[in-house]
Amino acid sequence: MNTERAPERRGAAALPLTADCVQCDAFCCVALPLTVSADFAIDKPAGQPCPHVSSDGRCGIHANLVARGFPGCRAYDCFGAGQQLTRAIRTAARPSWRDDPAGAPQLFAAFDVLRQLHEMLVYLVDALTRSVSPVVWGRAGDLADRIGELARRPPAGLAGVDIPAERVAVGAVLREVSASVRAADPPGADVPRTLRRSRGSGAAADWSGRHLSGADLRGADLAGAVLIGADLRGADLSRTDLRGADLRAADLRGVDLREALYLTVAQLGSARTDDATRLPTLMLVAPDPLR
Q: Over pLDDT 90: what percentage of the chain?
A: 59
Do residues 79 and 19 make contact, with C-beta atoms less than 8 angstroms apart?
yes
Amino acid making up residue 226: V
Range with lowest mean pLDDT among 10-24, 115-129, 143-157, 158-172: 10-24
DSSP code, position 205: P
Residue 47's Cβ-count burial label (10 Å; 0-12, 13-18, 19+) is middle
Neighbours of 95 (CB within 10 A): 14
Neighbours of 97 (CB within 10 A): 21
Asked if the model's pLDDT at residue 231 lies above 90, the reply is yes
> Count of alpha carbons within 13 Å of 8, Cβ hemisphere only?
6
For 209, residues 6+ apart whose C-beta sits below 8 A from its C-beta are: 228, 229, 230
Q: How far apart are CA 180 and CA 52, in angstroms?
A: 46
**Which of 90 and 289 is assigned the larger pLDDT?**
90
Question: What integer is the mean pLDDT of 188-199?
Answer: 58
Asked if the model's pLDDT at residue 197 lies above 70, the reply is no
Do residues 220 and 249 make contact, with C-beta atoms less than 8 angstroms apart?
no
Q: How far apart are CA 247 and CA 114, in angstroms?
A: 24
What is the per-residue pLDDT across 80-114, written as a single tens digit (0 to 9) for each? 999 999 999 998 888 888 888 899 999 999 999 99
Q: How large is the greatest C-alpha to C-alpha distance in the chain, in angstroms?
A: 58
- What pLDDT, on a 0 to 100 scale, did the predictor assign at position 12? 65
- What pLDDT, on a 0 to 100 scale, did the predictor assign at position 196? 52
For 202, residues 6+ apart whose C-beta sits below 8 A from its C-beta are: 194
Query: What's this model's pTM, rounded to 2 decimal places?
Result: 0.86
For 39, residues 6+ apart whose C-beta sits below 8 A from its C-beta are: 70, 71, 72, 73, 75
Question: What integer is the mean pLDDT of 182-210?
Answer: 67
Do residues 25 and 86 make contact, with C-beta atoms less than 8 angstroms apart?
yes
- What pLDDT, on a 0 to 100 scale, did the predictor assign at position 79? 92
Asked if the model's pLDDT at residue 46 lies above 90, the reply is yes
**Which of 55 and 22 is assigned the larger pLDDT?**
22
Burial 163-178 (b: 16+ CB within 10 A, else e): eeebeebbeebbbbbb
Do residues 290 and 75 make contact, with C-beta atoms less than 8 angstroms apart?
no
Do residues 175 and 130 make contact, with C-beta atoms less than 8 angstroms apart?
no
- What pLDDT, on a 0 to 100 scale, did the predictor assign at position 205? 83
